[in-house]
């Protein structure tokens, strides 16, 4: 289901006002209540006018769907009845474009976010026997682009769903504009005698058109007709908000992709991110293995050899033995240093000991830049999430130091609405581009494992702002340390 | 000199006890967990505590937290913190009260018994013992500081050794120069950094650390 964001702001403001009123003294209460009613009435009135306006706009937009609908119907008919297969893809692409426009409009006008779940571009796979496969079809020769398009557009249930919306868009548009039509009708009707008189005065004849507005053929309007037209005017204005809301909901419902299309999309995404996560993991393990093999392991072997030699030398050359022992101690210190570096790369100590906020502070301290950190984390995130965010921030800081020519960086870490959000802003020269092979794509891929996203804003001349957002739940802060008041 | 020792790894704890006793220290208590350490520090009031950062039950920074809390309860209680890794963040927290009597060293500094016991004695006497790695990190994060950049290479060496907590005599010994030369360098460093000079070794070190800790 689409996510509904719009609410009754007017009544919320009203109840807030009423609450503050209740807390004040009795003296001014009546006047305040009066003020509050007036404000409420004004809000309601402005909402009605907005809704009328919106209804007209929606109607105009729905007129735009007539041509694409005709094209889509004609093209699909010709495609499936006469085999003119090249017609369907462009027509369905146009349908998709219209649906996308409507989704954007719904988000803007009603705050309803309608998800999209189209199938991705069809990829062609070469089979071992030299044939080609796309979708469920197997062909001898390499399929052409139009074939792939045809396959993609005609087999995607989400696009057929869009076509269903397109065919009812005009009806819905008329519905949305109905209140506005009622208002116009009521308004013009009131002035029919005046118009009749004016037309007459200018030398025009009587018109049967007046009867459209319940008037006599000469333009006379009886008072019950005045009353009826007035009622029309009034009900038009008061129904407008409800009608536009109904329009929004229906449109959103029609545009929401079918459940299984959304599930398919989710499965595709999970498969991709899982593969990425496994690749990253495997690469990481290989790196650790190599580091241990070339570093600590080799040094321990050398130390063992040295100690063996010391055993031999102890009796007859204590001086040489002593030198070898010093050398062994040096080697053990080096091995420790290497292990420390390795551990820091696997799981940084501050992160393990203090959590994300302090770990980011430690990063800020160790950075050559002036980094200010603000944080608001009431608890700790899951360790894998913490670790992913930590390394992302670390990489972002390195990026800033390397490319941005900035001195100052601001990092903000906080948790709101079920998501962990980290913002890294620098005052550098801007112009960062995620597609140009900076580490941003890699960060994005690693965050995707946790359904996290990365947003980049980097105009030429700066500032650059990178925002990371991951859905996550915080555990309550640990309670084991109780030294506070000791 | 009475020492409280907190270290959860048996081998390392026994090794440290042997080392300290061999150098004339008296082990007042050797504990394994954060809460035990907390109690021992406040009840036994040792001359110095040697504490591992990561201790049971949480295996996070129990040791450091206990040490910081004990220093809040008993101001100036000498604490030498040992760890597998050094963090600027923790160093700054230890130095934050500016009262001295703190140390923060990597565990492998224990290998050199002479230097290690020297550091313990220095901390017990109200001085400081900071790991060279900590000082290097502090200096790196002050890389853009102009007065620091104005120091000569020799002065920088003196500053680093001094920041580790060494007296002028010890610095002179390390750099193979006379004590007079060291004190000449020190005067120049303090003038360049705009710090008030002092004859007291500890106070000089604290002034330098406070300078590095200010950003």
Chain B nearest-CA distance from A383, in A, is 13
Residue A27 has pLDDT above 60, yes or no: no
Q: Does A366 lie at the interface with B, CB-CB under 8 angstroms?
A: yes
Residues A317 and A379 in one domain: no
Segment A73-85, tens digit of pLDDT: 998 888 888 888 7
Residues A248 and A310 in one domain: no
The partner residue sitting opposite B89, judged by closest CB among A336, A337, A362, is A362
Asked if B111 and A333 come within 8 Å (Cβ–Cβ), the reply is yes
Residue B137 falls within a domain, yes or no? no
Residue A227 falls within a domain, yes or no? yes
Segment B12-22, tens digit of pLDDT: 999 999 999 99
Asked if B60 and A352 come within 8 Å (Cβ–Cβ), the reply is yes
Q: Average pLDDT in the A30-39 region?
A: 74
Residues B126 and B32 in one domain: yes
Nearest CA in chain B to A348: B85
Mutate to test the interface with A, among B69, B87, B95, B116 (most CBs of A within 10 A): B87
Residues B100 and B52 in one domain: yes
The domain in which residue B203 lies consists of 142-213
Q: What is the pLDDT of residue A391?
A: 93
Residue A6 has pLDDT above 50, yes or no: no
Final residue belonging to a domain, choices B130, B164, B193? B130
Residues B28 and B115 in one domain: yes
Smallest CA-to-CA distance from B27 within B7, B53, B1, B66 is with B1
Give A-chain residues touching B92 at CB under 8 angstroms.
365
- What ipTM goes with this model? 0.86
Q: What is the pLDDT of residue A294?
A: 87
| Number of CB pairs, chain A paired with chain B, less than 8 A apart | 74
Q: What is the pLDDT of residue A48?
A: 84
The partner residue sitting opposite B87, judged by closest CB among A337, A343, A349, is A349
Give every CB contact of residue A88 below 8 A, 6+ residues apart in sequence: A75, A76, A79, A80, A150, A153, A154
Q: The domain spanning residue B156 has which CATH number?
A: 1.10.10.10
Lowest pLDDT segment from A44-48, A267-271, A309-313: A44-48
Final residue belonging to a domain, choices A257, A285, A310? A257
Q: What is the mean pLDDT of chain A?
A: 83
pLDDT band at A18; cut points 50, 70, 90: very low
Residues A60 and A182 in one domain: yes
Final residue belonging to a domain, choices B96, B130, B164? B130
Token representation of residue B27: 């082990």
Residue B94 falls within a domain, yes or no? yes
Residues A388 and A284 in one domain: no
Segment A313-344, tens digit of pLDDT: 988 999 999 999 988 988 888 898 899 989 88
Contact yes or no for B183/B197 (Cβ under 8 A): no
Burial class (CB in 10 A: 0-12, 13-18, 19+), A17: middle
Residues A201 and A76 in one domain: yes
Residues A183 and A282 in one domain: no
Residue A486 falls within a domain, yes or no? no
Q: Average pLDDT in the A107-112 region?
A: 87
Chain A nearest-CA distance from B110, in A, is 11
Residues A243 and A228 in one domain: yes
Q: What is the pLDDT of residue A483?
A: 40
Residues A334 and A360 in one domain: no
pLDDT band at A207; cut points 50, 70, 90: low
Residues B19 and B116 in one domain: yes
Residue A130 falls within a domain, yes or no? no
Residue B113 has pLDDT above 70, yes or no: yes
Residues B6 and B43 in one domain: yes
Q: What is the pLDDT of residue A222?
A: 73
Q: Average pLDDT in the B120-147 region?
A: 89
Residue A424 bridge partners (DSSP): A411, A466
Residue B164 vs residues A34, A312, A362, B159: alpha-carbon distances, Å: 73, 39, 20, 9
Final residue belonging to a domain, choices A319, A346, A373? A346
Nearest CA in chain B to A328: B111
Asked if A353 and B60 come within 8 Å (Cβ–Cβ), the reply is yes
Token representation of residue A299: 């040094």
The domain in which residue A462 lies consists of 353-471
Number of domains in chain A: 3
Residue B84 falls within a domain, yes or no? yes
Number of domains in chain B: 2
Segment A64-75, tens digit of pLDDT: 999 999 999 998
Asked if B85 and A481 come within 8 Å (Cβ–Cβ), the reply is no
Q: What is the largest CA-CA distance in chain B?
A: 50
Residues A337 and A388 in one domain: no
Segment A146-172, tens digit of pLDDT: 788 888 888 888 888 899 999 999 999
Q: What is the pLDDT of residue A8?
A: 38
Q: Cα–Cα distance between A443 and A393 in angstroms, integer? A: 9
Residue A359 falls within a domain, yes or no? yes
Give A-chain residues touching B65 at CB under 8 angstroms.
481, 483
Q: Average pLDDT in the A349-365 region?
A: 92
Q: The domain spanning residue B34 has which CATH number?
A: 3.40.50.2300
């Amino acid at each position: 289901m689409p996510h509904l964001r719009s609410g009754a702001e007017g009544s919320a403001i009203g109840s807030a006002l009423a609450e503050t009123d209740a807390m004040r003294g009795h003296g001014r209460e009546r006047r305040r209540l009066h003020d509050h009613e007036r404000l409420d009435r004004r809000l309601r009135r402005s909402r009605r006018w907005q809704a009328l306006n919106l209804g007209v706009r929606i109607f105009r937009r729905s007129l735009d769907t007539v041509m694409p609908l005709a094209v889509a119907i004609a093209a699909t008919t010709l495609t499936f009845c006469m085999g003119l297969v090249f017609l369907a893809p462009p027509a369905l692409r146009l349908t998709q474009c219209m649906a996308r426009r409507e989704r954007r409009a719904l988000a803007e006008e009603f705050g309803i976010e309608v998800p999209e779940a189209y199938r991705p571009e069809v990829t062609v796979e070469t089979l071992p026997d030299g044939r080609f496969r796309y979708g469920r079809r197997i062909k001898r020769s390499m399929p052409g682009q139009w074939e792939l398009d045809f396959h993609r557009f005609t087999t995607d249930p989400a696009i057929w769903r869009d076509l269903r919306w397109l065919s009812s868009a005009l009806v819905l548009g008329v519905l949305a504009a109905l209140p506005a039509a009622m208002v116009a009708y009521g308004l013009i009707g009131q002035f029919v005698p005046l118009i009749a008189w004016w037309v007459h005065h200018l030398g025009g004849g009587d018109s049967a058109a007046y009867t459209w507005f319940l008037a006599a053929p000469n333009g006379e309007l009886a008072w019950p007709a005045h009353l009826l037209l007035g009622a029309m005017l009034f009900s038009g204005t008061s129904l407008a908000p409800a009608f536009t809301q109904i329009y929004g909901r229906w449109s959103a419902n029609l545009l929401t992709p079918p459940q299984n299309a959304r599930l398919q999309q989710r499965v595709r995404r999970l498969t991709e991110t899982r593969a990425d996560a496994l690749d990253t993991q495997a690469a990481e393990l290989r790196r650790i293995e190599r580091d241990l093999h070339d570093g600590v392991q080799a040094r321990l072997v050398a130390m063992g050899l040295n100690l063996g030699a010391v055993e031999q030398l102890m009796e007859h050359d204590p001086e040489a033995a002593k030198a070898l022992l010093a050398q062994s101690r040096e080697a053990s210190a080096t091995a420790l240093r290497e292990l420390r570096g390795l551990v820091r790369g696997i799981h940084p100590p501050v992160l393990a000991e203090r959590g994300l906020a302090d770990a980011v502070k430690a990063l800020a301290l160790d950075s050559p830049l002036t980094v200010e950190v603000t944080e608001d984390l009431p608890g700790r995130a899951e360790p894998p999430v913490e670790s992913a965010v930590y390394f992302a921030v670390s990489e972002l800081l390195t990026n800033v130091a390397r490319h941005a020519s900035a001195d100052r960086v601001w990092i903000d870490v906080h948790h709101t609405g079920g998501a962990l959000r980290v913002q890294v802003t620098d005052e550098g020269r801007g112009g960062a581009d995620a597609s140009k092979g900076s580490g941003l794509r890699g960060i994005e891929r690693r965050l995707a494992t946790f359904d996290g996203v990365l947003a980049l804003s980097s105009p030429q001349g700066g500032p650059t702002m990178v925002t990371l957002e991951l859905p996550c739940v915080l555990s309550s802060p640990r309670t084991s340390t109780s030294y506070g008041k000791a | 000199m009475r020492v409280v020792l907190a270290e959860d790894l048996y081998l390392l704890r026994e090794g440290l006890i042997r080392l300290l006793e061999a150098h004339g220290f008296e082990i007042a208590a050797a504990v394994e967990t954060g809460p035990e350490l907390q109690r021992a520090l406040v009840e036994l009031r040792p001359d110095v505590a040697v504490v591992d950062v990561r201790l049971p039950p949480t295996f996070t920074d129990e040791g450091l937290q206990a040490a910081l809390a004990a220093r809040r309860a008993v101001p100036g209680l000498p604490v030498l913190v040992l760890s597998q890794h050094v963090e600027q963040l923790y160093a700054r927290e230890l130095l934050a009260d500016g009262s001295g009597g703190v140390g923060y060293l990597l565990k492998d500094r224990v290998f050199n018994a002479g230097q290690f016991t020297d550091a313990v004695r220095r901390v017990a006497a109200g001085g400081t013992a900071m790991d060279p790695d900590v000082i290097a990190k502090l200096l790196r994060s002050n890389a853009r500081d102009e007065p620091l950049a104005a120091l000569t290479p020799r002065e920088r060496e003196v500053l680093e050794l001094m920041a580790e907590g060494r007296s002028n005599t010890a610095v002179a010994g390390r750099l193979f120069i006379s004590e007079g030369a060291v004190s000449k360098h020190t005067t120049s460093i303090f003038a360049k950094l705009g710090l008030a000079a002092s004859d007291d070794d500890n106070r000089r070190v604290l002034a330098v650390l406070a300078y590095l800790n200010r950003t």
